[in-house]
Amino acid sequence: MENIKRKDFIKKTSLVAVAGATGLLAACGKREETGSAAIHTRKKYEWKMVTTWPPHYPIMGEGADGFAKEVEKISDGDLKIHVYGGGELVPAFETFDAVSQGIAEIGHSSPYYWAGKVPSAQFFTGVPFGMNPQDTNSWLYYGGGLELWRELYENFNLLPFPAGNTGAQMGGWFNKEINSISDIKGLKMRMPGIGGKVLSEAGGTPILSAVSEIYTNLERGVIDATDWIAPYHDYLMGFYKIAKYYYYPGWAEPSGAIEMIVNKSAYDKLPKYLQEIIRIASNSLNLTILSNFEKMNMEYLGKIEAEKSVEIRRFPEEVLSKFREITAKVIADITKNDEISKKIFDSYSAFQKNIAKWSNLNNL
């Protein structure tokens, strides 16, 4: 992977093999027995998947490709999903609307991209100073988070499934030193979600741009800094060539949950065994994406350190403390006039507080 250039990285076409669920599902609904004769009665379905990632994008795009292959394999060809990267069928940031309206039956993305129309969707991905991926998954699967997520998306004819996590992210790439909170004033930074609102309150200017535009914007000075994900993707995007400083921790996204959104009308028309295959394949993808990220980020942090082309720095405590203070204000603003946002965040924050007691007992 060392010789992969930034453009090659974005266009990379290899697929990822997602861990199989169970062979038993392949048999579900497969045939009806009449005496000794097996009569095939299954209807074939073909779906379109749209994503916010470039086609075959490492880990996330590959994960979407692998999900489609796994669903087809487990269903014995009963459900085929054709995957379209961002911009191939619809623009990347129209994934939510495309699936909601039935232009595509399924989509792979991140909930905070829809903050403009569904502010509370942000609580299902990365909450500044929030839970880590393990605790987030615990809340989603066993703490009522997924039920709240589905309640929120029901008005949009969507059914969400957890389908990946980037893990804890880095604080971003900067071309100026951050020594105090005053250095944030006037800073133009690519940063989505609640973190972007915190940046704005601190005096910066958050900018949302598609993956393919980030490098050029940073190189040309359209932005002064950018977050993206973590060492693996960040290295392959080439940010180390055009930025001076790589800051941590990723205060804005200690967890980066990814969603599989399904058009509910289309989902309800599927037989039960195909619905179950989608659920299990999404769960599998949720595990494999996070595991893959952890391994690759470990390796590529080592590369960045060894090459010494950029300074890796921790945000000053003054800056982190101010960001934490502003985060509380931003979340209060989001929740005070939005009943569903308050309901979701109350659940999230209560779970975070309680699980922290357990986690702190085991921190070495």
pLDDT digits (tens, 9 = 90+) for 197-256: 999 999 999 998 877 789 999 999 999 999 999 999 999 999 999 999 999 999 999 999
The distance of Cα 45 from the centroid of its chain, to the nearest Å, equals 27
The answer to whether residue 59 sits within a structural domain is yes
Q: Is position 26 within any domain?
A: yes
Q: Classify residue 321: in a domain, yes or no.
A: no
Using the structure block, give the residue that is written with the tokens 């039960």.
272
Q: What is the CATH number of the domain that holds 157?
A: 3.40.190.170
Exposure pattern of 91-122 as b/e (b: 16+ CB <10 Å)? ebbbbbbbbbeebbbbbbbbbbbbbeebbbbb
Q: Which residue type is seen at 355?
A: I
Does the pLDDT value for residue 113 go beyond 50?
Answer: yes
Predicted structure pTM score:
0.84
Residue 363 within any structural domain of the chain? no
Secondary structure E strands in 166-302: 172-174, 188-190, 205-207, 225-226, 245-248, 257-263
Q: Is 292 contained in some domain? A: yes
Q: For residue 162, which of 120, 133, 191, 193 has the smallest C-alpha distance?
A: 133
The parent domain of residue 51 ranges over 13-34+41-165+257-296
The answer as to whether 89 is a domain residue is yes
Is the peptide bond between 54 and the residue preceding it cis, with omega within 30 degrees of 0? no
C-beta separation of 195 from 123 below 8 A: no
AA identity, residue 336: K
End-to-end CA distance of the chain: 34
Q: 131-173, pLDDT tens digit by residue?
A: 999 999 999 999 999 999 999 999 999 999 999 999 999 999 9
The pLDDT score that the predictor gives to residue 11 is: 52
Question: In whole angstroms, what is the distance from residue 54 CA to residue 181 CA?
Answer: 34
The helix (H) or strand (E) run that includes residue 21 is none
Q: Is 72 exposed, middle or buried (0-12, 13-18, 19+ CB in 10 A)?
A: middle
Angle between the N-to-C axes of helices 145-153 and 339-362, in degrees from 0 to 180, rounded to the nearest 10: 160
Q: Is residue 109 part of a domain?
A: yes
The pLDDT confidence band at residue 13, using thresholds 50, 70 and 90, is very low
Average pLDDT over residues 96-114: 96
Domain count, the chain: 1
Q: Using one digit for the tens of pLDDT, what is the confidence trace for 46-83?
A: 999 999 999 999 999 999 999 999 999 999 999 999 99
The answer to whether residue 263 is domain-embedded is yes
Structure tokens given for 109: 């993305």
* Mean pLDDT, rounded, for 271-284: 97
